[in-house]
A and B are shown apart, each in its own frame.
Chain A
């Protein structure tokens, strides 16, 4: 990695992460009251980041587990714990609610919150089980309500950078895309997702599909197949998609790959003049054209340390989670639609349905 890579990526930061510009001024006046529904891994993560960004901003947590709410209330005195959503809404009157429960409950919870008239809602990915449920939510959503979905990969600076390079034709016309999202989370028989009937594509692959629909114009599914290894749902999902321009996109989603200690998303874009390889960790570009976006070079590689230099202001899990939360809070403050609004998730969920249908799953 050359020294010029550093200065180049530094100058790009304001373009790639506008959320971080004067963030303390933009958020310091925030007097929002935030509540979290679901105190699992994601609930802990979001509330932790939010409280580190704006101390004390999380006022309440709702979880149906007695064990969790009772235990947590004995230790955490800063936050009120509830097992009933209505009671929390009545007593706390939050401005913002984060829904970080399992996917199967997203639709009903978001709907309840919308009908209650809550103005700002964050729901973890995937927003719903399928696109029909998503349309159901959109049909009851009022124009002034803001619902953001936790597609946090769009807040990772490597992927944002890749999109910028693609849009500016740095590798010419796109000819082929290969991609995967893999983790080693499920390596033994397991039944937690059985009742839902959808597995890795919905739970993990949805990130990849969301990135691909953001990068490219996808027409539809050519072929799709899934395999169960440890569960009764898809543990590995492979498919081929077609773009409107006619090129193919190969995808793979797996949560049963023992080589992956943590999940990794990989997209390789072959263009008429070069190639882009991008993950959460790095962006590598090789092209035959000198482009000012590459500092007039033909090869470049950027890793996380090149992007996240003294940013973001909170480090808890991957940096994109903090940027995602800042984006949501700033969208509220500045009254604008978030990058990952529920409306913008429609195409992703439609494609997820089509993939399952093509693979012969419901």
Chain B
């Protein structure tokens, strides 16, 4: 049963999976904090229940602004945090090289957690160091958001896919433990390879609370194929995983009505739906349509 409707941050960051051209135009529409705040407020009016975002500084600025100007908005939303903002690290790797990037990240972790990082380094426990990195990324947000409203921290798809590709099961266990026990929030994985993820979790007997993955009538970003992705979603749901469907509009290639027609068959498998927009009226209208079509 669908329980939540989430607004996503991609358009605020200049991300569009349809076209970079569209992303640039959307970003210029929602350039100010007030413009972004009005999207969230309109979404709430339409029935949006949460905000899912990556740890990009734009989101920190927005949430700080909302906390000051609209604390009632912050208090009403649930939060699903994606870590890290991968594109930021890709750009830094382009400039400084991977070794340079790794050194910078380690230096940041040591600066923030001198004792923990030293003990992890001495014990050669790099999985633990990775946890400290997640903590370092999450902490600024956890400080300003109401703790009971932060529902989950999810690993960004790039991390999830690499964990699967290299079978980093110990790392996954460590990050899950850290997020659930130390940070006290739900743990999730974002993926664009849901079929492979289901098999990987099954093989390694790992249960995660949330999985965030694209679901749309075109099968865009659904792998290894649309059919196998749908099957994996059903199987994960049977095992108790809460599915957060993203990219439900196939990056704007389908209408919200078409998306609803498709998602209807999965409404018992989906826990939350997410979409992004820079237009307040769209934020509200989409939420109303999704509620009407999928919450009954």
Is A90 among interface residues, defined by CB-CB distance under 8 A?
no
Scoring B residues 214 to 253 as 1 if CB is less than 8 Å from chain A, else 0, what string do you get?
Answer: 0010111111111101000000000000000000001101
The interface residues of chain A lying within 8 Å CB-to-CB of B219 are 309-311
A52-B164, A78-B167, A279-B20 known; A192 vs B97 contact (CB < 8 Å): yes
Count how many chain B residues have C-beta atoms less than 8 Å from C-beta atoms of the other chain. 56
The interface residues of chain A lying within 8 Å CB-to-CB of B225 are 310-311, 313
A261-B15, A305-B253, A315-B192 known; A71 vs B126 contact (CB < 8 Å): yes
The interface residues of chain A lying within 8 Å CB-to-CB of B76 are none
Count how many chain A residues have C-beta atoms less than 8 Å from C-beta atoms of the other chain. 49
Is A185 among interface residues, defined by CB-CB distance under 8 A?
yes
Is A51 among interface residues, defined by CB-CB distance under 8 A?
yes
A75-B126, A75-B127 known; A309 vs B23 contact (CB < 8 Å): no
Interface pair B227/A304, CB less than 8 Å apart: no
Chain B residue with Cβ nearest A312: B223
Interface pair A310/B227, CB less than 8 Å apart: yes
A281-B18, A281-B20 known; A310 vs B229 contact (CB < 8 Å): yes
Interface pair B18/A68, CB less than 8 Å apart: no
Interface pair B94/A185, CB less than 8 Å apart: yes
Interface pair B19/A308, CB less than 8 Å apart: no
A261-B87, A279-B19, A309-B226 known; A52 vs B193 contact (CB < 8 Å): yes
Is B95 among interface residues, defined by CB-CB distance under 8 A?
yes
B window 141-183: CB within 8 A of A: 157-158, 161-162, 164-168, 170-171
Chain B residue with Cβ nearest A264: B20
Is B17 among interface residues, defined by CB-CB distance under 8 A?
yes
The interface residues of chain B lying within 8 Å CB-to-CB of A261 are 13-15, 20, 23-24, 87
A262-B20, A281-B19 known; A74 vs B192 contact (CB < 8 Å): no
> Of B30-38, B45-53, B98-106, which stretch is located at the interface?
B98-106
A window 63-81: CB within 8 A of B: 65, 67-68, 71, 74-79
> Would you give the shortest CB distance from B169 to chain A, in whole angstroms?
9
Chain B residue with Cβ nearest A317: B158
Interface pair B165/A185, CB less than 8 Å apart: no
Is A259 among interface residues, defined by CB-CB distance under 8 A?
yes
> Would you give the shortest CB distance from A49 to chain B, in whole angstroms?
8
Is B124 among interface residues, defined by CB-CB distance under 8 A?
yes
CA distance A77 to B21 in the complex (A): 41
> Would you give the shortest CB distance from A78 to chain B, in whole angstroms?
5
Is A335 among interface residues, defined by CB-CB distance under 8 A?
no
Is B207 among interface residues, defined by CB-CB distance under 8 A?
no
CA distance A308 to B226 in the complex (A): 10
> Would you give the shortest CB distance from A95 to chain B, in whole angstroms?
19
A260-B20, A310-B225 known; A41 vs B251 contact (CB < 8 Å): no
Scoring A residues 290 to 317 as 1 if CB is less than 8 Å from chain B, else 0, what string do you get?
Answer: 0000000000000111101111111110
> Would you give the shortest CB distance from A38 to chain B, in whole angstroms?
9
Chain A residue with Cβ nearest B93: A41
A window 215-266: CB within 8 A of B: 259-262, 264
> Would you give the shortest CB distance from B26 to chain A, in whole angstroms?
12
CA distance A314 to B162 in the complex (A): 12
Most B CB atoms within 10 A — which of A79, A260, A305? A305
Scoring A residues 136 to 171 as 1 if CB is less than 8 Å from chain B, else 0, what string do you get?
Answer: 000000000000000000000000000000000000
A window 9-26: CB within 8 A of B: none
The interface residues of chain A lying within 8 Å CB-to-CB of B1 are none
CA distance A308 to B162 in the complex (A): 21
- A→B interface (CB under 8 Å): 1, 6, 39-41, 44, 47-49, 51-52, 65, 67-68, 71, 74-79, 102, 184-186, 190, 192, 259-262, 264, 279-282, 303-306, 308-316
Beyond A282-B18, A305-B18: 15 further Cβ-contacts under 8 Å?
A41-B94, A44-B162, A48-B161, A48-B165, A51-B165, A67-B99, A67-B102, A68-B102, A75-B126, A75-B130, A261-B15, A262-B20, A264-B20, A303-B19, A305-B251
CB<8 Å pairs between A and B, sample of 27: A41-B98, A48-B162, A48-B166, A51-B165, A52-B164, A52-B193, A65-B98, A65-B99, A67-B103, A68-B99, A76-B166, A76-B168, A77-B167, A79-B166, A102-B97, A184-B91, A192-B96, A261-B87, A262-B87, A279-B21, A281-B18, A282-B18, A303-B18, A304-B220, A304-B251, A306-B253, A310-B218
